[in-house]
């Protein structure tokens, strides 16, 4: 099975966690797109979704799934999202699609995070994937220097020759060369730097379950 087929497999498998009659938290990315497509097949059984990005909102609405403002929903039973990396404790690196801030917000309002990913995302130590960090643009240089002091190489993510602008009007820096041995402490520390909106380590908002697409089928990991 190729990577696209593995994503379809886990996107469909995630339907088992959707609670009938409720609102589901929906992440962002190519794997989640497969989940959204699968969700459309049971849209009459759910109330709707809280979305983590403009891109997912467009896709959900196009398929006739109502999208609710997160402020109008007190708690979600489940949040389903992909990851760029996940370790064997359910800690993740996210933000490859630049949606990390809203992803962390929706994850925080959900009782359970179900990560859907193909097996290439499972790692022993987080950090091989360049770590996305959403930042207030005026703080970029200082934050990049702080990462350099930790041994990382940071750069501003570009799109069409200009810094990429997130759904929240901010920039993303991507940091290579980190080995994140203690994701909880790392997330706590970097989140406190002035100008950091969201660091793409999801250790406080970790996954409780990962549906991992493998050539032998979907493996369920519980953390």
Figure out which of the listed residues 59, 91, 94, 104 binds ligand 5RP, where binding follows CB under 6 A: 94
Is 33 in contact with 8 (CB distance < 8 Å)?
no
Figure out which of the listed residues 14, 81, 86, 180 binds ligand 5RP, where binding follows CB under 6 A: 81
User: Binding of ligand 5RP at residue 11 (CB under 6 A)?
Assistant: no
User: Binding of ligand 5RP at residue 28 (CB under 6 A)?
Assistant: yes
Question: CA nearest 99: which of 52, 42, 63?
Answer: 52
In the complex, least distance from residue 81 CB atom to ligand 5RP, rounded to whole angstroms: 5
Pairing of strands 23-26, 48-51: parallel
Active site residue 85: no
Figure out which of the listed residues 39, 80, 100, 126 binds ligand 5RP, where binding follows CB under 6 A: 100
Is 82 in contact with 117 (CB distance < 8 Å)?
yes
User: Binding of ligand 5RP at residue 83 (CB under 6 A)?
Assistant: yes
What's the order of all strands across the beta sheet hosting 217-222?
A: 67-68, 48-51, 23-26, 79-81, 113-118, 209-214, 217-222
User: Binding of ligand 5RP at residue 12 (CB under 6 A)?
Assistant: no
Where does 51-151 have alpha helices with state H? 54-62, 100-108, 140-149
Q: Which residues are catalytic?
A: 103
Q: Which residues bind ligand 5RP (CB under 6 A)?
A: 27-31, 81-84, 94-100, 103
């Amino acid at each position: 099975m190729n990577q696209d087929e593995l994503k379809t497999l886990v996107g469909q498998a995630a339907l088992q966690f959707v609670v009938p009659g409720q609102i589901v938290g929906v992440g962002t990315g190519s794997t989640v797109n497969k989940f959204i497509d699968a969700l459309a097949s049971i849209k009459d059984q759910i109330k709707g979704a809280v979305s983590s990005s403009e891109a997912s909102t467009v896709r959900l609405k196009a398929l006739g799934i109502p999208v609710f403002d997160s402020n109008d929903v007190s708690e979600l039973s489940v949040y389903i999202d992909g990851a760029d990396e996940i370790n064997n404790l359910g800690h993740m690196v996210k933000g490859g699609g630049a949606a990390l801030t809203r992803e962390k917000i929706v994850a925080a309002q959900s009782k359970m995070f179900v990560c859907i990913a193909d097996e290439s995302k499972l790692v022993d130590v987080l950090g091989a994937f360049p770590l996305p960090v959403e930042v207030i643009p005026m703080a970029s240089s200082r934050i990049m220097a702080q990462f350099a002091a930790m041994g990382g190489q940071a750069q501003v993510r570009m799109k069409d020759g200009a810094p990429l602008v997130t759904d929240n009007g901010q920039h993303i820096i991507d940091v290579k060369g980190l080995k994140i041995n203690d994701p909880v402490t790392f997330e706590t520390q970097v989140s406190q730097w002035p100008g950091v909106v969201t660091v793409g380590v999801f250790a406080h908002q970790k996954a409780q379950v990962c549906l991992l697409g493998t050539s032998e089928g979907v493996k369920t990991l519980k953390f």
